[in-house]
Structure 1
Amino acid sequence: MIGVQLALISAFRTFSRSPSVVPESMRRSSRNSFLAVSLLASSSLFLTAHQARADEYTDLLDILKIKGSLTQGEYSALMIKHRRHQQESAEAESDRSDRRATRLASTRDQDRAGHFHSTSSSAHHVAVASGSDVTPVFLDAQDAAYDAAASARSARQSMLAAQAAINDPTIVRVDKYVPGKGVTFHAGPVAINLSGFVNGFYTYDNAYGRYVGGGTSAGAGGSKFDASAVRNGYLPAALITKITTTQDGIDMAAVFGMYPGLDNNKPGAMNANSGGSPVALGTPGIDFRQVYMTFGNKKMGTIKIGRDLGIFGSDAILDDATLITLGSIGGNSAPGNTSLGRIGVGYLYADWIPQISYQSPMMSGVQVTVGVMQPMDEFNFAGTNNNGTGPDALSAQSTHHSAPMAQGKVTYDFTSGDIKGRVWAGFLIQHQQRLYSSVISESQGKSATVEAGEVGAKLSYKGFEGVGYYYRASGLGSTGLFFDGITPAGNKRNSEGYYVQGSYSFDKKLRLAASYGVSNLYQAPGEIDSILVRRNESEVGALFYKWTDWIQFVAEYSHTESIAHNGNRGKDNSASGGAVLFF
């Protein structure tokens, strides 16, 4: 092919030196033709060199198979495709050779007979008139044109093959990584996302006070002590697997969320969320909080079936700055899977509840979520009188339910210039049956309908962010859902709480946050002052430094106080430092 290009250059120069042979206009036209022919010849040279290296593809497949990167099935399929392409290339080359031989013989016969045809190719006449036989040059150029057309067809076939490979179930692809969104693999039409987080803190706590039944302060246990621990924060660790696909226009997902802790587990009423056991040869608790599926689309909305975070109180938790710190530690001498954050000191824990729920499409920023949930028992969290050792329980309990719990909320998201925000309102309702205590028995058929409502707002403006939240309930209790919500006589206790929070981001790395929250549990008519908690409150300040896209360092101080109806108080002051990694 190099000889072809040299011949083209020689012919072009000969033609340029013979201005008397043809008019100037014909010379300009032919000069352009020669340039085009030269480019086509160069393209042919590239394609020929590319074909000469075709066997390197076979070598590459052999290496990948030996290294285990290809299965036997993948190797065989790719080799079959490669052999077919080689055969097609050989057949195309044979056709070109036959066409060239035929054209060359025909052109030479015409030249011997002295026939000169008037065609659009002025360059051919000039070359023959000047005594230069450049017929092979034009034949090579024509071959180059055929090769270029074949290359275009091959490129199109490669593009179609690449598009088909996107949904090929034998090929696994990986999405470009986005910090905080996990790693996503695609196997044909199925996407598998792995995400999660790990955290750990050193915490020092100074606790003191008198006993408060149901108090969230570490000092509510009625003693004075200092305690150190290496522990989880409000969140344990997590490994979350999400599998998604679309079939017949329906988006579907299955989610499995595993949340292990750092410290030894000592199962109690709250299972993995009970207090820990810092004894040698212990093992941590594994909290498999999430197991659910979803299906739907942007037009019909989404249905969820399984175990996931409840609806009532979920925004209050997810907007809480202590979510990635500790907040109220709830005891430091034998830490469990988590601290308390603002549970019981600003909101009730939404909890992870078996449910069937529906979330509507977003309509002008408005979205509705409703669901039926596994009904929960009334629970005597506060214990008994006389510092928890007396015979009389402080609250009634229940074990039977003929109807599910219902929850729902409405959210509105908006943007106005640099201001972004969300406002929401939610509800919870459940009928409690067969209440029992030391005062009443299940056979009496005592029942109560528990009701609760909430409102909240979150606003952000440039580096500032503020959150405000309020709830009020009858029979729902404090701290956890249905904790101490009903008296031993079967009467509902009212409760309410709120928290306010502000934060400021100095830049993309450094952020400061502070919050204050309160939860109140009121006595029902006829109750006398007891050691039952009346009020839990806390103040929290935290500093966050985002070192990389994955890891943040956290320093925090919190003060928590619990007050009983009889005036007992428990307090604690804690300082923590550690890191959180999200991937």
Structure 2
Amino acid sequence: MKGQVIVIQSVPSGIRQTQNNSLSSRRNTRLPGGRRIGAALLAATILAGICAVAGSQTAKADDYTDLLDILRAKGSLTKNEYGTLLTKHMHHTRPSLNEDGGGSERGERAKGRGVDGSHYAADARRARRYDASPDVTPVFVDARDAANSAAASARSAHDSMLAAQNAMNDTSIVRVAKYVPGKGLTFQAGEIAINLSGFVNGFYTYNSPATGRAVAGGVSTGAGGNKFDSSSVRNGLLPAALITKITTTQEGIDLGVVFGMYPGIDNATNGSFNANSGGSPVGLGTAGLDFRQIYMTAGNKKWGTFKVGRDLALFGSDAIMFDATLLSVGSTGSNASPGNTSLGRIGVGYVYADWIPQISYASPVWHGLQGSVGVFQPLDEFNYAGDGASATSTYHSSPMVQGKVSYDFTAGDLKGRIWAGFLAQHQQRLTSSVLAESAGRGATVEAGEIGTKLSYKGFEGVAYYYRGSGLGTTGLFFDGVAADGRKRDSEGFYIQGAYSVTKRLRLVGSYGVSNLYQAPQELDPDLVKRNESEVGALFFKVTDWLQLVGEYAHTESSAHNGNKAKDNSASGGAVLFF
């Protein structure tokens, strides 16, 4: 078959498909220096196919170069790729031809076989014009080098990530957790978390007694016969605080300790209530420090948590924590010589829960339901009214016992809590002006409570009620037992409504009452019968930390003989939580 020439008339459909795929691959696969491997593979495939068909026969040069021209025109080949493949084709088909198309014996034989050497000369000039290299091998070498480089970079990044993770888990490094407003600052030192939180407040309060008659055990500033106005710069129901919590987990047990320091801003004076006694506005004074919280906890979410130490008791705890006057002043108590705190709604809606040494247990939360119970340091029966009005006791062979059950729920936009609690303590060896200790008179105090807090969108409401026998009023066991040793009944309640006008502005109104009834056959006309107050306040949230507060409060105390004492107070100040 001498002189036979194989002519490629068209690009087969398979090659056209390869061309399309190559175009997509070329667009997505790039090598260093801007080279693209897809088109080179396409052209190399075409070249291999032609060589396979032709065998030892020679393809017509102009048809092959026309094909390369078409691929170049369609954008399937770059300038360098086009020149590289054209030069390789020339070397494979007529390696001895020079760019002038002749001059050698093989060139002459090629002309004799019907292959025009001028085509190769033109091809050579065309290849040189594109500055192509004599082989496509560098393209694949670059691809290999790029892959190796990418793999090395990936290994390096992975090693760096592992090193960073190991550094983060290094127990010698102290990290700061993401700050959450109101949750304090948390530092993580290995498996130990240290949280610092607290608050500071201060108010200017102007108090004006409307009337002042003697009411023994009353909470109005006029209850002692005072009729004079007073101004003060003072703390509200809360003093300041710095609280340190340290927590960790060991052997599957969550452990924690808490130290809560609560200093006031006014001068302290010695008294029955220690740092919470009335103040002493005299030069060279010092503020009082109330170290309320010192306790440890141990447990987990599966088995519940034990608490050992000094902390807020269970009975009455929700009542005070949901009281809006916790962040304001409420009933001032002593305003002319302010102590560590005001009264808020203590004694005018609930009995103060107090901070009491305890061993208590809180169960796991089960579908919003939780129970708590504990034994507490027994407290003395206290004659708050004075003048021998109530019996006292300082002997205790058994602890105080308290318990509480709470249920938290959510129903759409409605959220709420319902709780109930109890308290019991036996008072031994009661004494008074008419009762000798040797008489061995005792009394068992019992009390119960129930309350709820509901919130719906911008509205919030709280309702609370308590009743006790021997419980007393204002503080635990204040005037709970008459001078003859008989228990007095008491009860009280408060209702509170709040509405968030905006995300920053909140309005609050509340009303509360505490009643103390005389014991059977008792006749003590000056003893307090009723303490009540109305409070209206607005809270403006300036930042996540800072709130401004404005408040008006009216407090009234009345005795069993009809004596009344009233006062009105206006307060303005700021509270900062961190």
User: Could you tell me the TM-score, scaled by structure 2's length?
Assistant: 0.78
Decide whether the 8 Å contact of 2:31 with 2:142 is kept in 1.
no
Deviation, structure 1 residue 184: 1.3
Letter in 2 for 1:169: T
Change (3 A) 1:514 1:33: closer
1:563 lines up with 2:558 in the alignment: yes
1: CA distance, partners of 2:316 / 2:424: 13
1: CA distance, partners of 2:389 / 2:85: 113
1:267 lines up with 2:262 in the alignment: no
Residue in structure 2 matched with residue 153 of structure 1 by the alignment: 155
Q: How many residues align?
A: 478
Return the match for 1:180 from 179, 182, 198. 182
Decide whether the 8 Å contact of 2:553 with 2:568 is kept in 1.
yes
Deviation, structure 1 residue 530: 2.7
2: CA distance, partners of 1:582 / 1:413: 25
2: CA distance, partners of 1:382 / 1:349: 16
Please give the residue correspondences for 1:111-510 in structure 2 after superposition, counting only pairs within 5 Å: 128-129=88-89, 132-133=134-135, 135-207=137-209, 208-384=211-387, 393-510=388-505
Letter in 2 for 1:397: T
Deviation, structure 1 residue 29: 6.8
- 3-state SS of 1:220 partner: coil
Return the match for 1:539 from 530, 534, 538. 534
Deviation, structure 1 residue 41: 6.6
1:511 lines up with 2:506 in the alignment: yes
2: CA distance, partners of 1:281 / 1:259: 21
- 3-state SS of 2:385 partner: coil
- 3-state SS of 1:151 partner: helix
1: CA distance, partners of 2:436 / 2:87: 116
Letter in 1 for 2:156: S
1: CA distance, partners of 2:15 / 2:537: 88
1: CA distance, partners of 2:29 / 2:423: 80
1: CA distance, partners of 2:539 / 2:521: 48
Deviation, structure 1 residue 136: 4.8
2: CA distance, partners of 1:405 / 1:147: 75
Letter in 1 for 2:158: R
1:38 lines up with 2:30 in the alignment: yes
Deviation, structure 1 residue 134: 5.2
Letter in 2 for 1:426: G
- Decide which moves more: 26-35 or 142-151: 26-35
Change (3 A) 1:39 1:530: farther
Letter in 2 for 1:536: N
Letter in 1 for 2:30: S
Change (3 A) 1:263 1:39: farther
Deviation, structure 1 residue 220: 0.6
- 3-state SS of 2:229 partner: strand
- 3-state SS of 1:154 partner: helix
Identity, % of aligned pairs? Answer: 69
Decide whether the 8 Å contact of 1:377 with 1:399 is kept in 2.
yes
Residue in structure 2 matched with residue 114 of structure 1 by the alignment: none
Decide whether the 8 Å contact of 2:85 with 2:135 is kept in 1.
no
Deviation, structure 1 residue 435: 1.5
Decide whether the 8 Å contact of 1:408 with 1:426 is kept in 2.
yes
Change (3 A) 1:153 1:471: same
Decide whether the 8 Å contact of 2:540 with 2:548 is kept in 1.
yes
1: CA distance, partners of 2:316 / 2:86: 90
1: CA distance, partners of 2:567 / 2:169: 58
Decide whether the 8 Å contact of 1:40 with 1:148 is kept in 2.
no
1: CA distance, partners of 2:202 / 2:248: 35
Deviation, structure 1 residue 234: 0.5
Root-mean-square deviation over aligned CA pairs? 2.4
Deviation, structure 1 residue 501: 0.8
1: CA distance, partners of 2:533 / 2:542: 28
Deviation, structure 1 residue 156: 2.3
1: CA distance, partners of 2:419 / 2:442: 30
Deviation, structure 1 residue 252: 1.7
User: Could you tell me the TM-score, scaled by structure 1's length?
Assistant: 0.78
Change (3 A) 1:136 1:39: closer
2: CA distance, partners of 1:158 / 1:293: 40
Residue in structure 1 matched with residue 128 of structure 2 by the alignment: none
Deviation, structure 1 residue 582: 1.1
Decide whether the 8 Å contact of 2:452 with 2:464 is kept in 1.
yes
Deviation, structure 1 residue 244: 1.4
- 3-state SS of 1:225 partner: coil
Deviation, structure 1 residue 441: 2.6
Deviation, structure 1 residue 526: 2.1
Decide whether the 8 Å contact of 2:215 with 2:224 is kept in 1.
yes
Deviation, structure 1 residue 25: 6.3
Deviation, structure 1 residue 27: 6.3
Structure 1: gaps spanning 5 or more residues: 1-18, 44-122, 385-392
Deviation, structure 1 residue 420: 1.3
2: CA distance, partners of 1:27 / 1:466: 75
Deviation, structure 1 residue 126: 8.0
Deviation, structure 1 residue 286: 0.9
Letter in 2 for 1:132: P
- 3-state SS of 1:219 partner: coil
Q: Deviations over 1:35-77 (max 9, x none)?
A: 677346789xxxxxxxxxxxxxxxxxxxxxxxxxxxxxxxxxx
2: CA distance, partners of 1:456 / 1:219: 31
Change (3 A) 1:283 1:127: farther
Deviation, structure 1 residue 360: 1.1
Structure 2: gaps spanning 5 or more residues: 1-10, 36-80, 91-132
Letter in 1 for 2:143: A
Q: Deviations over 1:251-284 (max 9, x none)?
A: 2221111111110001211111100001111110
Deviation, structure 1 residue 204: 0.3
Structure number with larger C-alpha Rg: 2
2: CA distance, partners of 1:300 / 1:215: 45
Change (3 A) 1:417 1:38: closer
2: CA distance, partners of 1:543 / 1:495: 31
Letter in 2 for 1:379: F
Deviation, structure 1 residue 525: 1.3
Letter in 1 for 2:505: L
2: CA distance, partners of 1:157 / 1:249: 32
Deviation, structure 1 residue 553: 0.9
- Decide which moves more: 297-306 or 311-320: 297-306
Change (3 A) 1:29 1:527: closer
